[in-house]
Amino acid sequence: MSGHHDLGGTRTDAPVPRGQHAILPWEMRVDALMQLLSDPQRPGGALMSVDELRRGIESLSADEYRLLGYYERWLHSLIAVMAEKGVIERVALERRLAEVERAHEREHARRGER
Protein backbone atom coordinates (compact mmCIF):
# COMPACT_ATOMS: atom_id res chain seq x y z
CA MET A 1 0.00 0.00 0.00
CA SER A 2 1.33 3.43 -0.92
CA GLY A 3 1.47 6.26 1.59
CA HIS A 4 1.03 9.97 0.99
CA HIS A 5 4.84 10.27 0.72
CA ASP A 6 5.06 7.73 -2.13
CA LEU A 7 4.51 9.88 -5.19
CA GLY A 8 6.41 7.79 -7.73
CA GLY A 9 4.27 7.03 -10.76
CA THR A 10 1.56 9.49 -9.74
CA ARG A 11 0.00 11.09 -12.78
CA THR A 12 -0.14 14.87 -12.89
CA ASP A 13 -0.49 17.60 -15.48
CA ALA A 14 1.81 19.87 -13.49
CA PRO A 15 5.31 20.30 -14.87
CA VAL A 16 8.11 18.69 -12.92
CA PRO A 17 10.47 21.40 -11.66
CA ARG A 18 13.95 20.51 -12.84
CA GLY A 19 15.89 23.47 -11.48
CA GLN A 20 17.98 23.46 -8.34
CA HIS A 21 17.76 26.14 -5.71
CA ALA A 22 20.81 27.36 -3.85
CA ILE A 23 21.21 25.35 -0.66
CA LEU A 24 20.61 27.72 2.23
CA PRO A 25 22.90 27.79 5.27
CA TRP A 26 20.26 26.25 7.55
CA GLU A 27 19.76 23.41 5.04
CA MET A 28 23.50 22.71 5.07
CA ARG A 29 23.36 22.59 8.87
CA VAL A 30 20.50 20.07 8.82
CA ASP A 31 22.49 17.93 6.38
CA ALA A 32 25.57 18.23 8.64
CA LEU A 33 23.48 17.21 11.68
CA MET A 34 22.32 14.10 9.87
CA GLN A 35 25.89 13.27 8.85
CA LEU A 36 27.08 13.66 12.44
CA LEU A 37 24.20 11.76 14.04
CA SER A 38 24.49 8.83 11.63
CA ASP A 39 28.29 8.59 11.58
CA PRO A 40 29.34 5.19 12.97
CA GLN A 41 32.85 6.61 13.58
CA ARG A 42 31.65 9.28 16.02
CA PRO A 43 32.54 8.68 19.67
CA GLY A 44 29.79 6.45 21.05
CA GLY A 45 28.73 5.36 17.57
CA ALA A 46 25.86 6.50 15.40
CA LEU A 47 22.84 7.90 17.20
CA MET A 48 20.50 7.22 14.30
CA SER A 49 20.39 5.64 10.88
CA VAL A 50 19.23 6.82 7.49
CA ASP A 51 16.42 4.27 7.84
CA GLU A 52 15.25 6.03 11.00
CA LEU A 53 15.39 9.38 9.18
CA ARG A 54 13.20 7.91 6.45
CA ARG A 55 10.78 6.42 8.98
CA GLY A 56 10.44 9.81 10.64
CA ILE A 57 9.77 11.50 7.31
CA GLU A 58 7.23 8.87 6.30
CA SER A 59 5.53 9.30 9.69
CA LEU A 60 4.66 12.92 8.93
CA SER A 61 0.99 13.57 8.33
CA ALA A 62 -0.11 14.10 4.72
CA ASP A 63 -0.54 17.83 5.39
CA GLU A 64 2.89 18.17 7.03
CA TYR A 65 4.54 16.22 4.24
CA ARG A 66 2.89 18.37 1.57
CA LEU A 67 3.63 21.70 3.29
CA LEU A 68 7.23 21.07 4.39
CA GLY A 69 10.24 21.33 2.14
CA TYR A 70 12.88 18.65 1.73
CA TYR A 71 15.19 19.72 4.56
CA GLU A 72 12.25 20.79 6.74
CA ARG A 73 11.09 17.16 6.59
CA TRP A 74 14.60 16.04 7.55
CA LEU A 75 14.65 18.44 10.50
CA HIS A 76 11.25 17.30 11.78
CA SER A 77 12.40 13.70 11.49
CA LEU A 78 15.74 14.36 13.24
CA ILE A 79 13.95 16.03 16.13
CA ALA A 80 11.35 13.25 16.40
CA VAL A 81 13.93 10.45 16.37
CA MET A 82 16.26 12.20 18.83
CA ALA A 83 13.32 12.91 21.16
CA GLU A 84 12.13 9.31 20.83
CA LYS A 85 15.58 8.12 21.89
CA GLY A 86 15.80 10.58 24.79
CA VAL A 87 18.75 12.47 23.30
CA ILE A 88 16.80 15.75 23.38
CA GLU A 89 13.70 16.92 25.18
CA ARG A 90 11.10 18.59 22.98
CA VAL A 91 10.10 21.05 25.72
CA ALA A 92 13.71 22.16 26.21
CA LEU A 93 14.19 22.47 22.45
CA GLU A 94 11.01 24.53 22.06
CA ARG A 95 12.06 26.77 24.96
CA ARG A 96 15.50 27.33 23.38
CA LEU A 97 13.92 28.02 19.98
CA ALA A 98 11.69 30.69 21.56
CA GLU A 99 14.79 32.30 23.15
CA VAL A 100 16.60 32.36 19.81
CA GLU A 101 13.55 33.85 18.07
CA ARG A 102 13.27 36.61 20.70
CA ALA A 103 16.99 37.41 20.39
CA HIS A 104 16.66 37.52 16.60
CA GLU A 105 13.68 39.90 16.85
CA ARG A 106 15.54 42.18 19.29
CA GLU A 107 18.61 42.25 17.06
CA HIS A 108 16.59 43.15 13.98
CA ALA A 109 14.53 45.74 15.88
CA ARG A 110 17.78 47.48 16.93
CA ARG A 111 19.02 47.48 13.35
CA GLY A 112 15.79 49.15 12.28
CA GLU A 113 16.28 51.94 14.84
CA ARG A 114 19.57 53.10 13.26
- DSSP letter at 57 equals H
Residue spans of the chain under pLDDT 70: 1-10, 113-114
CATH architecture for the domain at 25-88: Orthogonal Bundle (1.10)
Q: Is the pTM of this model over 0.85?
A: no
Please count the other Cβ atoms lying within 10 Å of the Cβ belonging to residue 4. Answer: 13
Say if residues 94 and 53 touch (Cβ distance below 8 Å): no
Spatial CA neighbour of 36 closest among 22, 21, 47: 47
Specify whether the CB–CB gap between 93 and 79 falls below 8 A.
yes
C-alpha R_g of the chain: 18
Max distance between CA atoms of the chain, in angstroms, equals 58
pLDDT number for residue 5: 47
Helix (H, G, I), strand (E, B) or coil at 24: coil
**CB-based contact 76:31 (threshold 8 Å):** no
Q: In the chain, what are the helix, strand and coil shares in percent, each to the nearest 5?
A: 60, 0, 40
